[in-house]
Amino acid sequence: MALIGDTEYFKGIGEIMYEGKESDNPMSFKFYNPEQVVAGKTMREHFKFAMAYWHTLCGTGGDPFGPGTKEFPWATATDPVEAAKQKADAAFEFVTKMGFDYYCFHDYDLVDEAKTLSESEKRIQEIVAYLQQKQEASGVRLLWGTSNCFSHPRYMNGAATNPNFDVVARAGAQVKIALDATIALNGENYVFWGGREGYMSLLNTNMKLEQDNIGRFLNMAKDYARSQGFKGTFFIEPKPMEPTKHQYDFDCATSINTIKEYGLENDFKLNIEVNHATLAQHTFQHELQVAANAGMLGSIDANRGDYQNGWDTDQFPNNVLETTEAMLVFLKAGGLQGGGINFDAKTRRNSTDLEDIFLAHIGGADTFARGLLIADEVLRSSPYESLLSKRYSSFDSGKGASYTAGKLSLTDLYDYAQEQGEPEQISGKQELYENILNQYS
C-alpha cells in the first residue's frame, strides 16, 4: 500500500490560478492574487487561507429533514485508519490545488472516534504520522487544531462545564490528545469552541461552578501545551447559542471577560466567526473591532449567515460591501495575530458536484481579496480617514486634549460647559461615509 496516496479525487481540476476579473474561467481567482502586495504584505500573508476539514471532507449535506446528498469518493475503505488516509489525501489534494497554505481540523474529523479512549488515541497517532508526511511533501501547514467535545452523546450536558466530573475528566483527556496531535503537526494555534459549554435551563444549572470549572480547564490545557513546547496562540471562538440555548462564550466582549477573569490574557486571543457575530446580533466588523481594541484579534472563521433565519448556515462569504467594512477594521488593526482565515463554510445541500467545493472557496477568497483591495484604497485615497479624525478633532487640543490626558475633573467639565453654552449641532454624516465605500467598490 502506498504511503502517500496517489489517487486523484478531484479529477479534471488543476491548480486554481489568479486570472483577474476579466477572465470568464469560473475555476480561477478574479481578485485573490496570492503574491500581490497590499498595504505592505502579500495577500497570501494577510489572509493565510485555510480549509476546514469538517465541512470540506466530512459534511455530506445531512440536515434535520433528510440524510446527506453527497457521495464523496474518499473515506470509502472499511478500516477506519485507511479511510482516514484517503480523506487526508483528498484534503491535501484540495488545499494544494486551491493554492492555500493551511488546513484546520477537529480530532475526530481526521479519523472516526473508536469505542475506547486508548483505541481513539492510537488511531489519531497513526493518522498524525501520515499527516506529518503529507505536510512535509506539500508544504501545507496546520493553522489550528481543536477537539470535538460536542458531538458525542457523553457531552450532552457539556464538556468542561459538565455537572459530572467524570465527563469533565474525559473531555480533558480528549483535549490532551488533540493538543499532542496539534503539537506533533507544528500547529500554529489551538481553538476552543464550546458548543455545549453553556446551559439550556438555569433551573438545573450552577452557573458559577460551571464557569469556574472551564476557567480551570483552559488553564490546565494551556499549562500542559506550554510544558510540551507549544508556542502558538490559543483562541476562544465565541458563539451565542446553537447547539446550547445560552453559551458561555456569547460574543467577543463576553469571551474577553472570561479570558481576563481566569488569567489567560497572555496566551489567549479570539477566533471570530462571521455567522456567530450575526447570531449574537452584532455585525462581523463590530466583533473584529471589539477584539482589536483588546489586542485579541487572533483569527477569523470566514462564512456568512442568512438574515432571514436564525441559525449557523455556514454559507461561503460573498457580500463584498460587508467584507470591505470588516477589512477596514482588519487593516487598521494591523491584521491578525497568529491566526488566518479559515473557511468554516459548507456548500449547500443541493450543491452536489465536487467542483462546487472549489467554486465556493474561490468565491470566498475573492470576496476577502476584493474587500481588502477596496478597504486599502479607501484608507489611502479617499477622504475617509480625514473625515474620521475631523469628527474627533475636539480631543486633539485645548480642554478636549486635557480630558483625554486625564487632567480634568467633573468640576472642570462643569466650568467649561458653563462658559460654552449649548454645544453646536454636528452631523454624523453616515450617508457620506457609506457613499465613499460605494464609490471605491
Please tell me whether residue 196 binds ligand XLS under the rule CB under 6 A.
no
DSSP states along 374-395: HHHHHHHHSSHHHHHHHHTGGG
Please tell me whether residue 312 binds ligand XLS under the rule CB under 6 A.
yes
Residues between 156 and 195 that touch ligand XLS (CB under 6 A) = 191, 193
Active site residue 106: yes
The contact pattern for ligand XLS, residues 86-115, with x = CB under 6 A and - = no contact, is --------------------x---------
Q: How many CB atoms lie under 10 A from the CB of residue 10?
A: 16
Q: Give Cα separations from 225 to 117, 193, 220, 420 (angstroms).
A: 20, 17, 9, 58
Please tell me whether residue 287 binds Ni ion under the rule CB under 5 A.
no
276 is in an annotated binding site: yes
Q: Residue 289's binding partner, choosing from ligand XLS, Ni ion, none, with beta-carbon cut-off 5 to 8 A by kind?
A: none
DSSP states along 311-375: S---BPP--HHHHHHHHHHHHHTTS-SS--EEE-----TT--SHHHHHHHHHHHHHHHHHHHHHH
Q: State the Cα–Cα distance between residues 284 and 304, nearest whole angstrom.
A: 9
Please tell me whether residue 301 binds Ni ion under the rule CB under 5 A.
yes
User: Which one among 344, 346, 357, 384 touches ligand XLS, defined by CB under 6 A?
Assistant: 344
Catalytic residue among 101, 109, 366, 376: 109
36 burial via Cβ count (<10 Å: 0-12, 13-18, 19+): middle
Q: What are phi and psi of 192, to 5 degrees?
A: -120, 110
Q: Name the DSSP class of 425.
A: P
Please tell me whether residue 107 binds Ni ion under the rule CB under 5 A.
no
Q: How many CB atoms lie under 10 A from the CB of residue 241?
A: 16
The contact pattern for ligand XLS, residues 258-287, with x = CB under 6 A and - = no contact, is ---------------x--------------
Q: State the Cα–Cα distance between residues 305 and 93, nearest whole angstrom.
A: 28
Active site residue 152: no
Q: Residue 146's binding partner, choosing from ligand XLS, Ni ion, none, with beta-carbon cut-off 5 to 8 A by kind?
A: ligand XLS
Binding site for Ni ion (CB under 5 A): 273, 301, 312, 344
| Catalytic residue set | 106, 109
Binding residues for Mg(2+): 237, 273, 276, 301, 312, 314, 344
Binding site for ligand XLS (CB under 6 A): 106, 146, 191, 193, 237, 239, 273, 301, 312, 344
